[in-house]
Structure 1
Amino acid sequence: MSNKHKAKNNKNPEEKEMTNEQKLLRENVLLRLEVEYLKKLRAFQMDPEVYLEKHKQRYHSNSKKPLN
């Protein structure tokens, strides 16, 4: 059995139970995420320093601070 055929048979069982509308909604969400990712990637590639400065606060707030 080819790898493609095996991968097709090993899909998430919940996916088989999804209605066509649910599948389209899921695809829509995934495509929106992809578009947002590509926008951010393009902004970073155009000017990394400006992008990082703009998003600096977000990265610092997520980092762990040393315990004193």
Structure 2
Amino acid sequence: MAKKTKKNPATPNGTMSREEQLERENELLRLEVAYLKKLKAFQENPNAYLEKHKQRWHSNSKKKDSE
């Protein structure tokens, strides 16, 4: 889903280029959209949302235990 961005070293004066600013803004907007989608799904059907994420959490925890 979301890919991790490389942390670029800051320029000597601590400012970002216009391209870096736009990339950062784009990343923040993507995070906001993802958050709002999850919030909407939870508000529409809290039980189904919680059950879905509960199952995912348990399935991941079982993998760790079996190793």
TM-score interval w.r.t. the shorter chain?
0.5 to 0.7
Instruction: Count residues in correspondence.
Output: 52
Q: Structure 1 length as normaliser, TM-score?
A: 0.62
**1:44 has 2:11 as partner:** no
In structure 2, list runs of 5 or more residues that go unmatched: 1-9, 62-67
| Partner of residue 22, structure 1 | 20
% identical aligned pairs: 62
Distance in 2 (CA, whole Å) between partners of 1:40 and 1:55 is 11
Greater CA radius of gyration, 1 or 2? Answer: 1
State the shift of 1:59 in Å: 4.3
What code does the residue aligned with 2:43 have?
Q
State the shift of 1:17 in Å: 1.3
| Partner of residue 53, structure 1 | 51
In structure 1, list runs of 5 or more residues that go unmatched: 1-13, 63-68
